[in-house]
Amino acid sequence: MSLFDFTLKELQEKLHNKEITVSDLVEASYDRIKEVDGEVKAFITLNEEAAKQQAKELDEKLGAEASILYGMPIGIKDNIVTKGLRTTCASQILDNLTDPLYDATVIQKLENEQTVTIGKLNMDEFAMGSSTENSSYADTRNPWNTDYVPGGSSGGSAAAVAAGEVFFSLGSDTGGSIRQPAAFCGVVGLKPTYGLVSRFGLVAFASSLDQIGPITRTVEDNAHLLQAIVGHDQMDSTSANVEIPNYSEALQQDVKGLRIAVPKEYLSEGVDPEVKEAVLAALKKYEELGATWEEVSLPHSKYAVAAYYLLASSEASANLARFDGIRYGKRTEKRVDMIDMFKESRAEGFGYEVKRRIMLGTFALSSGYYDAYYKKAQKVRTLIKEDFEKIFADYDVVIGPTTPTPAYKVGEKIDDPLTMYTDDVLTTPVNLAGLPGISIPCGFSSAGLPIGLQIIGKHFDEAMIYRTAYAFEQATDFHTKRPNLGGGQ
Amino acid sequence: MAEISKEQVKHVANLARLAVTEEEVEMFTQQLGDIINYAELLNELDTTDVKPTTHVLDLKNVMRKDEPREWITKDEAMKNAPDQANGQFRVPSILE
């Protein structure tokens, strides 16, 4: 049995029993990275020297009161700012940002828990994409079959956990970017309620949609990591000032009386038969566990992708205006005037998907088109939000697949941006409504690729999501399966 | 059916401060046209009386006291700049 088969709680017990040290955990992480990351390509930047030094110090001062995350090796998506540790957003425009000036709030919070940052994880450039093929560094591969994509945009974060390179990671989710790669890689990924986790230091893509969230192997670990990063933050004025429950207390193996809503739109045509079968089997399992489920309708689901891409791209076009070649990041070598310096620096620094979305957003916000596209999309956002409000008056959670299909092959969809966008049909509504949602493993396709079950909750009801997810996880063994990689682990 | 012209694409690229080649204008004209056509789907919905959502939580203006705090220093703020002189960011000349 490898160290990566234990939960954070079990590892913490081993630390205190002196069976293992923090240095052992950190060594195991880098050993595994050396063994498999040539294939998986999950990391952009490693933090090896500093992490090993930190591990030594943590071993010396381990006390009885240590947090459950004490000394645990974590990977961080590369759009979360880490002081002194290169942060690129997988973009050439930030390739030279080797010495960022501050830590994101979530990084400060992890520092309080004394986790060890192993490195920065690959992603679609500026979190724009669903396959991690839009990284300017490498195509991260799916650990279950390296011909396949890991999903995206947090593809590195999900693949590193699935491959056993880190014990857990942070990702970010704007339209599915935690849940979709978690589904493709067979791990647990939560997008928290909008406002639950501070966005300070998360490089902004679409500010009304972005949330940072945990990616782990188990639901229990996920609850522990979420607990560490939530809370009101003065540095993020959209951060919510709400009472934080103890998420671990929600982990009871009991869903008797739970009322599940299953939107018929989430199991309609376009959803792969194997995915549908796995979700229906999961619902049967919930029945056995004492929950009830009924089919409902979210009638505006089919409009979510169009509304999402207009809104997210509009916000991105404004947010990415800050990359101007003046204060940090890339500046063109060409000797040109001021305006052309902006244009050339941005043309050289951004990849095509980012340019496409900046152009789409600039168009949707431009004079003469604002009402027809941007404002229209905001109104449709209201309808999508109301769909969920109606359902949540009568049900505790909404359940469906996370993605219409399992992972696809590298290169299969990258030349067809619109098809790639429409695949986000099951995840984008959750961001538009600001709701929390998790993806947990619920089966495998005949090709051996993981299938994800999506559980959506009410605003700030992460506890109900964890309770629902944990009951299923404990009654099944999908989360104990490991990809056969680097000789198996 | 919405159409996007090459001229519109060039106009948008200028607004977005992105240099584009002729080939890229061709590509973006095609791709943005496809995406905008897809977005026409939203016009199936009558949204006359629907209020737009800018933000999902019911937050109003968020205020805090305007007090000085420890933050990055001027030297730190300059250290990642591509070009600087005398403690200031240096840019290409704006005036002839």
pLDDT in tens, A50-109: 999 999 999 999 988 889 999 999 999 999 999 999 999 999 999 999 999 999 999 999
CB pairs under 8 A between A and B: 167
Q: Using a CB–CB cutoff of 8 Å, tell me whether A16 touches chain B.
A: no
Query: Average pLDDT of A104-127?
Result: 98
A-chain residues within 8 Å CB-CB of B11? 366
- Res. A218 pLDDT band, cuts 50 70 90: very high
A360 vs B32, B72, B77: nearest CB: B32
Scanning A281-310 for CB atoms below 8 A from B yields: 300, 302-303, 306-307, 309-310
Task: Write b or e for each residue in B4-37: b if 16 or more Cβ atoms lie within 10 A of its Cβ, otherwise e.
Answer: beeebbeebbebbbbbbeeebeebbbebbbebbe
Minimal C-alpha gap between A240 and chain B (Å): 8
**B36–A302: do the CB atoms touch at under 8 Å?**
no
Scanning A457-476 for CB atoms below 8 A from B yields: 459
Q: What is the pLDDT of residues B3-57, one digit of tens each?
A: 799 999 999 999 999 999 999 999 999 999 999 999 999 999 999 999 999 888 8
Q: What is the pLDDT of residues A124-148, one digit of tens each?
A: 999 999 999 999 999 999 999 999 9
**A208–B56: do the CB atoms touch at under 8 Å?**
yes
Q: What is the pTM of this model?
A: 0.97
Helix (H) or strand (E) holding B40: none
Minimal C-alpha gap between B54 and chain A (Å): 7
Q: Using a CB–CB cutoff of 8 Å, tell me whether B91 touches chain A.
A: yes
| Cis bond before residue A366 (omega within 30° of 0) | no
The letter for the amino acid at B41 is: L
The domain locations on chain B are 6-44
A382 vs B11, B53, B91: nearest CB: B53
B92 vs A336, A382, A433: nearest CB: A336
A309 vs B13, B35, B44: nearest CB: B35
**B81–A321: do the CB atoms touch at under 8 Å?**
no
Are the C-beta atoms of residues A25 and A73 closer than 8 Å to each other? yes
Scanning B9-68 for CB atoms below 8 A from A yields: 9, 11-13, 15-20, 24, 27-28, 31-32, 34-36, 38-39, 41-45, 47, 50-57, 59, 62, 64
B59 vs A238, A344, A366: nearest CB: A238
Q: Which of B3, B25, B35 to mutate to probe the A interface, most A CBs <10 Å?
A: B35
Cα dihedral A375→A381→A382→A388 (10° resolution)? 180
Are the C-beta atoms of residues A216 and A168 closer than 8 Å to each other? yes
A386's tokens: 């109301």
Scanning A172-201 for CB atoms below 8 A from B yields: 194-195
Chain B residue with Cα closest to A420: B35
- Res. B96 pLDDT band, cuts 50 70 90: low
- Higher pLDDT, residue B1 or A351: A351
Nearest C-alpha neighbor of A263 from the set A139, A392, A369, A141? A392
Query: Average pLDDT of A469-478?
Result: 97
Chain B residue with Cα closest to A317: B16
Minimal C-alpha gap between B27 and chain A (Å): 10
Q: Which of B6, B12, B44, B78 to mutate to probe the A interface, most A CBs <10 Å?
A: B12
- Res. A487 pLDDT band, cuts 50 70 90: low
Q: What is the pLDDT of residues A271-280, one digit of tens each?
A: 999 999 999 9
**B36–A363: do the CB atoms touch at under 8 Å?**
yes
Nearest C-alpha neighbor of A309 from the set A149, A423, A159? A423
Query: Average pLDDT of A184-211?
Result: 98
For the domain bounded by B6-44, which CATH number is listed? 1.10.20.60
A374's tokens: 């941007």
A338 vs B42, B56, B92: nearest CB: B92
Residue B95 has pLDDT above 80, yes or no: no
**B76–A355: do the CB atoms touch at under 8 Å?**
no
Distance CA A98, CA A121 (A): 15
For chain A, give the percent of residues with pLDDT over 70.
Answer: 99
B-chain residues within 8 Å CB-CB of A323? none
Task: Look up residue B12 and give its DSSP letter.
Answer: H
How many other CB atoms sit within 10 Å of the CB of residue A398?
Answer: 24
| Mean pLDDT over each residue of chain A, to the nearest integer | 96
Are the C-beta atoms of residues A291 and A256 closer than 8 Å to each other? yes
Minimal C-alpha gap between B1 and chain A (Å): 13
Q: Using a CB–CB cutoff of 8 Å, tell me whether B69 touches chain A.
A: no
Distance CA B95, CA B87 (A): 21
Are the C-beta atoms of residues A402 and A454 closer than 8 Å to each other? yes
How many Cα atoms sit within 13 Å of B47 on the Cβ side? 26
**Parallel, antiparallel or unpaired: strands A211-216 and A292-296:** unpaired
A8's tokens: 């954070």
CA distances from B92 to A346, B60, B89 (A): 15, 41, 10
- Res. A489 pLDDT band, cuts 50 70 90: very low
Q: Which of B14, B57, B71, B75 to mutate to probe the A interface, most A CBs <10 Å?
A: B57
Distance CA A313, CA A69 (A): 36
Are the C-beta atoms of residues A9 and A220 closer than 8 Å to each other? yes
Minimal C-alpha gap between A237 and chain B (Å): 6
Q: Which of B17, B25, B88, B93 to mutate to probe the A interface, most A CBs <10 Å?
A: B17
B-chain residues within 8 Å CB-CB of A459? 56-57
